[in-house]
Amino acid sequence: MPNWLLSCLAREWSGLAIAAILAPGGWLVGGWLGMAMIGIALVLGFGNVWHLIFRAHIGRLHPAPGRRIDLGGYCVHILAEGERKDRVPLVMFGGGHAPGLAMSHLHERLKHKCRSILIDRPGTGWSDTGPFPRTTAREADEMMRVLELAGELGPFVLVGYSFGGLLAANIARRYPEKVARLVLLDPTPLETIVFGPRLGAIRGMLRNALWAGLSRLFGIHINLEARQARRNPAFAAMAQRFEQQLGAEAYKKLNAIDVSAGSQFSHYSIYHELLGPHVGTCGWETVVYDGDLGDMEVWLVAPPNAAEVADNEEVGAASGREQARMINFFARSRERYLAISSRSKRVYAPEGSTHQFVYEEADFVGDVLERASQPSG
């Protein structure tokens, strides 16, 4: 889908504009087809009005806990709590294209010991959608601008989990003077998507985001990922761990505020970076290559062995030698992040943990980040 169309659809009132185009067209066409067009226009228009009312209601129920920083026509939400004391401030990014609230279980543990900062990437949480296309490179610049305009002084310890690790590494490459330490929690190695097996799950993420955005625009607020998770035992167990760590109140709020159509279109846009053919066009701006971070201190924190990768549904669907090759590939590809700096070290998550160790082993991760907030030397 072209970026200009995503930009139009991401405006929460765009459903009314579509209805306003269809209705006059119906009058001009006339007959049964014209009546059908007018009927569709009325349904879409009423659906969009309901969406706008519902979204405003959710906004009143759950006001932003932090500050919304104007980046020039759109605002990004930042929550910064805790005193700096003798520690280095932590800035944390969750997996996927997640809001800051996805890391709130760690934020709540750490804000009493150091300055802890969560930022809602544009199109998530209490942030506006922002301009398209949504890219990791663009969001890396946006995150640093938000910190600067909010008066948060670096250098920072950047913490990124999964796809958020790719974002944190990009910020570190662009603004090394603002980064005291980079902590990558089982980060996504983008370049391996070019050389690895074709993953149907990525295209599924794109389809879900597109259809969720369109359905929300016309008043149907369905969480397609949650519905699929209930049908998949592995995903259901993961969602349960996620809810347990965040706590019932935070988990309920996280789901409640995720009602905008723009958020889904922003997911659709940025997930294109995970498609093999697209990586070639954005690789130089997005991938952090060997030696890119010089002698910056980098911690790669991940499970200790390849067995945890077998939990991946698509890996499990393979058979024999191909499955073994896929397990080895996914487990080893993340280790390439050790090459981005001459001062990198490997930290192993507890035995038996999986990619979800940020929620499975929250005490362990909290201890690692507490150590990471200590000044070097």
CA pair distance 72, 70, nearest whole angstrom: 6
Task: Judge whether residue 154 has pLDDT over 80.
Answer: yes
Residue 101: closest CA among 287, 262, 245:
245
Mean pLDDT is lowest, of 12-16, 177-181, 271-275, 367-371, for 271-275
Give the rounded distance of the alpha carbon of 206 from its chain centre. 13
Question: Which tops the pLDDT comparison, 285 or 160?
Answer: 160
Q: What interhelical angle do 248-256 and 233-246 show, nearest 10? A: 110
Q: Which residue has the higher pLDDT, 249 or 326?
A: 249
Residue pair 123/76 in contact (Cβ under 8 Å)? The answer is no
Instruction: Give the strands of the sheet with 297-302, arranged side by side.
Output: 67-70, 75-81, 116-119, 90-93, 156-161, 179-185, 297-302, 343-348
Strands 343-348 and 156-161, by their bridges, are: unpaired
pLDDT computed for residue 313 by the predictor = 57
Give every CB contact of residue 130 below 8 A, 6+ residues apart in sequence.
Answer: 71, 74, 76, 122, 123, 142, 266
Instruction: Name the percent of the chain lying above pLDDT 70.
Output: 90
The DSSP line for 274-322 is: GSHHHHHHHHHHH---TTTTTT-EEEEEE-SSSGGGGGSHHHHHS-HHH
Distance CA 275, CA 191 (A): 10
Q: Is the peptide bond before 133 cis (omega within 30 degrees of 0)?
A: yes
pLDDT in tens, 53-97: 999 999 999 999 999 999 999 999 999 999 988 999 999 999 989
CA gyration radius, the chain: 22
Average pLDDT, whole number, for the chain?
Answer: 89
Amino acid identity of residue 282, one-letter, is C
Compute the distance between CA of residue 62 and CA of residue 257 in angstroms, rounded to an integer: 7
Q: Which of 164, 216, 199, 206 is nearest to 185 (CA)?
A: 164
Measured distance CA(224)–CA(218) in Å, rounded? 15
pTM for this structure? Answer: 0.91
pLDDT at 248: 80
* pLDDT tens digit sequence for 298-331: 999 999 875 555 455 555 565 667 777 877 787 7
When pLDDT is averaged across residues 13-35 and rounded to a whole number, the result is 89
Count Cβ atoms below 10 Å from residue 17 Cβ, excluding itself.
15
Q: What angle do CA 366, 368, 372 make, to 5 degrees?
A: 115
